[in-house]
Chain A
Amino acid sequence: MKLASLRDITLRDVGTEARLLLIGIPVFIWTMIPIYHMFVFAISPKEDAFSGKLWPTHPTLHNFHIVFYQQHYFLRDFWIQFWNSLVIAVSVGALTLLIATFAAFSISRLRVPGGRWVMNLALFTYFIPAAFLAVPMYRTMGNYGLLNSHWALILAMVTIASPYAIWVLKQASDKLPVELDEAAVMDGATALQIFRLVYIPLMMPSLVAIGTYAVLLAWNEYLYAFLLLSNDKEITLPVALGNFLSADDSPWELLMTTGFIYALPPAAIYYAFKRYMVGGLTAGAVKS
């Protein structure tokens, strides 16, 4: 009796496990195929790259060597473009943090008149599809004389990143107790002192999340970068990757190698800051 029920339980467990595997294995394959394909190209010599092998006969790091030493026509500005991507991403992160933290502090803690309106305007901007805003943005940057300058992309990305940043930071700062500010005011603190000494330290986790969000958004951006920048020395890495496509004899293995290098920093940053990202962003992304 006891034995039979035990066997029933294990049989049921095996069944459940098998069903979970039946979901898990396709999910794994589906997720990894494009990434694995990119990786195989990156470690394949040119003659292996087009033979459709699932694993190259002679895996090599030679492609990375070519990219790092810029030994190909398409890659002659690789490091400059890498640097451009980096500078733009970091600038967007810093500017977004500055603007969004000021705005969130002002709306949530200082209760600036009309703060609710500002919040709603920001939310509205957040919901404009990015590709739609890109069209008038392109023309606007032309009117401002900023086309082909890094500032065009930085300012455009700050515009896109800050609404969500303000919203998440406002949600987070609404949760800080009012008594904190009151106590600081009693001690004679000015608004700026509260901001610097009380607000910033308490908001650190959200600030890390938002900074990371803005940096990744700017690093990953293709459309705006490709519209606003065109000079080979000014473009960012994704635009350079896109330019590979314009030629018929594109060296795929080098394109995939460059793409792999380009994809590594954001993936690393994402996993390093995962606990902030998941807590700070997904909770804020959809409030139900």
Chain B
Amino acid sequence: MAITLSASDMPSAPLAARLTTPQVWGIVMVTPYLLVFLAFVVYPVGYGLWLARAPANYVALYHDPIFARAAVNTLIFLVIGINIKMLIALFLSGFFVQQRAWIKWLSVLFILPWAVPSIPTILSVRFMLNPEWGMVNQLIFKFTGEDGPNWLNDPAVALTMAIGVHIWKSLPFWTLILMTGRLAISQDLFEAAEVDGANWWQKFRFITWPSMQTLYITCTLLSMIWTLGDFNSVYLLTGGGPADLTHVLATLGIRYLRLDQLSLAMASIVCALPLVAPLIYFMMKRLSR
């Protein structure tokens, strides 16, 4: 920056003298964060990327069937899981803006999954699905006299359950956000549409959706970024099992780490960068205005 300035633009006084007192205070006050950023973001990320530099890591990943499976699982989680979640959230936001006393009370309860920590609730679901003692199979046995399925032992079912747990946990948050979006729409528009005899689909199609689509898409992308880092839903429910078939990239990195294969862990994360980078770029552009 300073290099491009001509000599006449540059005051000859030293840097410290050119700064006003508030600016000096500004620098002092922003320094703590910069230190945290340098010590715990720049250094780890740089160090991690340096560890992941050897091509041998990527060859090893390529030959590890667990990695391929985890990548596919992550895509399923993101593309199917998140879109289903956001569609439900969009639908439920329309339900929760209805003016009823009981819906108000329901919305207070509805936020609970978001308000409580994930460990106890996910473990609760895990126990519920236990093939022998879990409540689900006990009830199935009680009513049909037959043994229920071994829920978490089938990779497809287990992954579906993990997605279900994720949806259970984060649906309230997104519903709440989309509700604020809906409440920002002027009620006059709906009344005018009512007079013109519009049905609910037309109201949604021509009033609600146009004013909410930016918010909806932002939410979907943000949710995808966060879900990439969702370790708990899979790890606490299935532990990556059976036979390491339900790992996602978030749990796989930690798995390699636990096996003391740090460079492999970093390499698996670097492989996810092509997926993350465009999302981050888009969100940065949107939020840093």
Contact = CB atoms under 8 A, between A and B. Distances in A.
Interface of A: 20, 23-24, 27-28, 30-35, 37-38, 41, 50-52, 54, 98-100, 102-103, 105-107, 110-113, 115, 118-125, 127-140, 143-144, 155-156, 158-159, 162, 166-167, 190-192, 195, 219-220, 222-223, 227, 238, 241-242, 244-245, 252, 255-256, 258-260, 262-263, 266-267, 270-271, 278, 282-283, 285-288
A169 B117 CA distance: 25
Given A20-B103, A106-B27, A271-B108, 13 more contacts: A41-B127, A52-B141, A113-B23, A115-B30, A120-B288, A131-B230, A135-B254, A135-B256, A140-B43, A167-B287, A238-B119, A242-B236, A263-B120
Contacts of B119: 220, 222, 238, 241-242, 259, 262
A102 B25 CA distance: 10
Interface residues of B, number: 98
Interface string B1-43: 0000000000000000001011101110110111011011101
12 contacts: A24-B102, A34-B168, A102-B30, A124-B280, A132-B229, A132-B250, A136-B48, A139-B44, A220-B117, A222-B117, A222-B236, A282-B176
B30 A129 contact: no
Contact of A34 (B22, B29, B121, B214): B121
Contacts of B41: 125, 128, 133, 159
Interface stretch (B150-158, B202-210, B264-272): B264-272
A143 to B, nearest CB: 8
Interface string B101-131: 0110010111111011111111111011000
A63 to B, nearest CB: 13
Contact of B110 (A27, A54, A125, A156): A27
Nearest to B132: A50
Interface stretch (B60-68, B191-199, B220-228): B220-228
- Looking at A100, A123, A139, the one whose CB has the most chain B CB atoms below 10 A away is A139
B266 A136 contact: yes
Given A24-B102, A220-B117, A134 B254 contact: yes
A259 B218 contact: no
B124 A139 contact: no
Nearest to B213: A288
Nearest to A278: B176
Given A27-B106, A266-B117, A129 B250 contact: yes
Contacts, number: 287
A20 B27 CA distance: 55
B189 interface: no
B36 A99 contact: yes
